Chains A and B, each alone.
Chain A
């Protein structure tokens, strides 16, 4: 080697645009850059996490005493319906699409998504249906009250007779959300299939991309079925058809098939990317290669396939014939196999690793523990005799929230912290992050662990009042819920102050492997532009003499000097 370190390619290296003084303005404009759209998605969805959280805290406030005293029981029905809808369609789906936007192009070395304009359209549908959904609070009769599943006949009642009613706005909002998700899914899948860096075969792809691909495949297959069902429901509600009305020859159970054909896999749409996050975070902070990379990757599609043939386990007690119950019980149990493969792989990755307990690692460890617990109660619920006993009780509510909040949302928080320095260019404050984790973990455990007991004892869900014998579990749960509300404070404080004046982030603060860490923080508009690295190995070569890309030193230096 000569003494000079000069590399002429560095001269024409991209200069990071972010950093201009009024740069924040682009986040409030219609922009087609995936990294801007990603942050728009995440910021919008975190705002709605607060809205949904507020609704949840009113619900828990109501349930702190056995009597229905805080809000009217009708209002209560609207509150939990809107809580569920806001959390799923305005928080979780958008936040994961935001992560997809940030991570997929940077991880596979693409300059942007395959269809940037479609991407922007998908994002800007979110505020549109958010306004529609929020508007339903102000129409006569209030918001939809039929729960997030909107089963007929409850959902096709229109007692006040107004053409525009809460349920109708709800259906329109869900339909628009579906269109937005389909736009997103087409974009993500096309990007992953067609825009990977040279040398990046599918089995050298980061696991986040595998899981996001699987999740978006589910969106493409499942979502149209729900849209079909929602169109039929809308016609029943507003235009006098009788698809789901027995008096006109219709069948209300058919709606349940349409609904669950999508809405069970929808849980996997949310959990699969979190599996990807786990795989990225565990390897990075335990400094070990991912155990069984190929199996973990393929298990994602095992889950995709199985998720499409389990939906009737939500219908064990709605007149489903016995042969169907047995069949769906069997398929439901089988899902534990690919999921178990992943869990074992993570545990084996952590085993004897050199663990660094940073905030994202803590969130992932907490999420994994909770996920294993949720998986066990999930297998219980998939068993016909147990499900018939505890279905429609708080056991289901507790199980569901253990998956959705305690595993998925914790994973989402982990991702937000892990990639925060990369996409904002600033480090977050570790102390506040750990405080956020502690409050969240204690809060979510207090909130949902006791509700398993309440459910096993027979406390029914979706009612504003309950038998006083369940009071103790509900008091603990409500305390936990309010603690989760408190946990939002350090989080918001951390995000806002770190972005505004946090220390400047180096390109690779965690010593992680992956194409996104070879970019400057924050990455320039077109990522690698024309100088895309050639991928040699999968991004989990921690502790191995196995560079991920050819000429890695060049890219590292270019990122540092940008």
Chain B
């Protein structure tokens, strides 16, 4: 591409393209759409749970709740921590933002670790009937979102070290924070469906 041809300039006029408001609108639309995949999985899970003739595979008598509960508490509180990080950013306290934001990332990482420990102690696999399938599908798909969220937060942290970057606006921190709350809410529903519902 040659710069002499004005039609191929990649970023036309910056003012038209870099618009935080558009980014947030687009991101909210994306999250609404993404939640439908989870809704589809939740609906599938509930249907299987209600109608499947043999729900638990042989040799398995339910899921342990303590470890996932600790995980839940960590993830839910990390949402509040993320909110404080955002507050620091809006007040212009960059180091406060960086530290608290990093703590959020650590809490997310702890959740993923806890998930890993739980998975490795389970006696059933992906192919253990519809119970195993839905369990790994739901927790795995959610886990992917958590990992994506940590990655996005890392990206925001990296951006914060580029001089003057956050002066024009928050450049995506609001969106990532929204994503993190979304992942959190999905987990709460998931926790009730998979772990709490099994007792009833």
Contacts and interface: CB of A to CB of B under 8 A. Distances in A.
A associates with B: yes
A309 B163 CA distance: 51
A194 B21 contact: yes
A18 B8 CA distance: 11
Contacts of B131: 249
A57 interface: no
A373 interface: no
A235 B44 CA distance: 14
Contacts of A224: 33-37, 39-40
A525 interface: yes
Contacts of A18: 7
A17 B33 contact: no
- Chain A residues touching B, range: 35 or more
Q: Secondary structure of the A side of the interface?
A: helix
A231 B140 CA distance: 12
User: B8, B17, B23, B37: which has the most chain A beta carbons within 10 Å?
Assistant: B8
Interface string A111-134: 110111110000000000000000
A525 B32 CA distance: 32
Given A31-B8, A186-B33, A243 B40 contact: no
B129 A254 contact: no
Interface string A29-41: 1011100100000
Contacts, number: 149
Contacts of B25: 114, 190, 193-194
Interface in B1-40: 1, 5-13, 16-17, 19, 21-23, 25-26, 29-30, 32-37, 39-40
B128 to A, nearest CB: 8
Contacts of B175: none
B126 A182 contact: no
Given A223-B33, A228-B41, A241 B12 contact: no
Contact of A235 (B21, B53, B137): B137
Interface string A10-54: 000000011010010010010111001000000000000000000
Contacts of A193: 25
Contacts of B37: 224-225, 227-228
B118 interface: no
A225 B127 contact: no
B7 A17 contact: yes
A251 B48 contact: yes
B16 A526 contact: yes
Given A249-B52, A249-B53, A249-B54, A17 B26 contact: no
Nearest to A32: B10
Contacts of A227: 37
Contacts of B34: 224
Interface in A229-281: 229, 231-232, 235, 239-243, 248-251, 254, 258, 261
Nearest to A228: B40
A33 B7 contact: yes
A115 B33 contact: no
B154 interface: no
Interface string A503-537: 00000000000000000000001100100000000
B51 interface: yes
Interface string A208-230: 00000000000011111101110
B60 interface: no
A218 to B, nearest CB: 11
26 contacts: A18-B7, A26-B5, A31-B8, A31-B10, A32-B11, A111-B13, A111-B16, A114-B26, A115-B22, A118-B26, A185-B33, A186-B33, A190-B25, A225-B37, A228-B36, A228-B41, A235-B133, A239-B127, A242-B127, A242-B129, A243-B130, A249-B53, A249-B129, A251-B48, A525-B12, A526-B16
Q: Closest 9 A-B residue pairs measured CB to CB?
A: A228-B40, A241-B133, A224-B36, A240-B127, A249-B130, A224-B37, A17-B7, A249-B52, A220-B33
Interface of B: 1, 5-13, 16-17, 19, 21-23, 25-26, 29-30, 32-37, 39-41, 44, 47-48, 51-55, 126-127, 129-134, 137, 141
